[in-house]
Amino acid sequence: MTEQDAGSRIGSRIRFFRKSKHITLQQLADRIHKSRATMCKYENGDISIDVNSLYDICCALNVPMNELIDMPLPEKEDPGDILPGHTDESPFFKSKRMYFYFYDGRYNHLKDGIINIGERDPKTGDYSCTLSICIVSPSGRTSELFYTGRVIYGEMLIRFSFINSCNTLEEALLYIFNPLELRDETVGLLCSISTADLVPCSFKCLLTLTPKEPTEDFRSKLLFTDAELKRMKKLNRLLVTNV
């Protein structure tokens, strides 16, 4: 486990306990006398946390320090863990962090998030993961949704199953297509039941290995094309293909 992996794991644990105690990012930042931006970087693993700040966070969350830094020793590589066709060049198999984007037509807004992938469960063979999504309401108010779940890897698909940490009735499935292809970004499909209006919903999304700027060209990749809409109408089903 690298220093960045350790930072990401500690950050995701901080976010998990903060969310479970219904403490906002700003409230936690105020309690440890840090800026909201710094606290956000702590949770995303973008910067390392010094011992004094980590202690302050534990006190603010009323969580023992070992709950945040308890990490297993690195396992030796097991050939049985390697999927058929998996090589060291398969970026979406190697990455412990992915950046997640989709366009929500209900609010005419591009939404982004971060997926962090944790340790492998020796019993089931799948991996733990978290998803945080930044939400901007029509009034301009910013909030954050946080999900926990599992991820399973396959040659043609990677499947994430997420549950909203604040509303366990909300579950989402995220599929990545053709993950073995050598690329920095790939198309995915997000499926869920909208708890806002209680209807099924699916979004075309992009998963990337590096953060992307929300340019018009990037935004256009998140929209369904006329050809895609025509094909959906003909077959009477939602189709998303890897492009």
Reduce the DSSP state of residue 171 to 3 states and report it.
Answer: strand
CA-closest candidate to residue 131, choices 104, 166, 157, 156:
166
More confident residue, 31 or 3: 31
- In total, the chain counts a number of residues equal to 243
Q: Can you give the pLDDT at residue 50? A: 86
17-37 average pLDDT score = 90
Q: Can you give the pLDDT at residue 85? A: 41
Tens-place pLDDT, residues 100-130: 999 888 778 888 899 999 888 877 778 899 9
**Which residue type sits at 241?**
T
Mean pLDDT over each residue of the chain, to the nearest integer? 81
Q: Can you give the pLDDT at residue 137? A: 57
Q: Can you give the pLDDT at residue 76? A: 46
Number of CB atoms found within 10 A of residue 165's CB: 20
CA-closest candidate to residue 207, choices 96, 129, 87, 114:
114
Reduce the DSSP state of residue 39 to 3 states and report it.
Answer: helix
Q: Can you give the pLDDT at residue 104? A: 84
Residue 82 has pLDDT above 70, yes or no: no
How far, in Å, CA of 157 to CA of 126, rounded? 14
188-203 average pLDDT score = 82
Residue 78 has pLDDT above 80, yes or no: no
**114's tokens:** 């971060």
Q: 53: number of CA atoms within 13 Å, CB side?
A: 18
Residue with tokens 């308890």: 70
User: pLDDT > 90: what percent of the chain?
Assistant: 21
User: pLDDT > 70: what percent of the chain?
Assistant: 82
CA-closest candidate to residue 126, choices 149, 148, 147, 152:
152
Q: How confident is the model at residue 149 (pLDDT cuts 50, 70, 90)?
A: very high
Residue with tokens 């599929």: 175
Q: How confident is the model at residue 86 (pLDDT cuts 50, 70, 90)?
A: very low
Tens-place pLDDT, residues 203-231: 899 999 888 888 889 989 898 888 888 88
Task: Report whether 160 contacts 181 (CB < 8 A).
Answer: no
Residue 79 has pLDDT above 50, yes or no: no
Can you list the domains of the chain with their CATH numbers?
Answer: 3-69 (1.10.260.40), 91-235 (2.40.128.120)
Tens-place pLDDT, residues 41-61: 898 888 888 888 888 999 999
Q: Can you give the pLDDT at residue 81? A: 43
60-72 average pLDDT score = 79
Residue 175 has pLDDT above 80, yes or no: yes
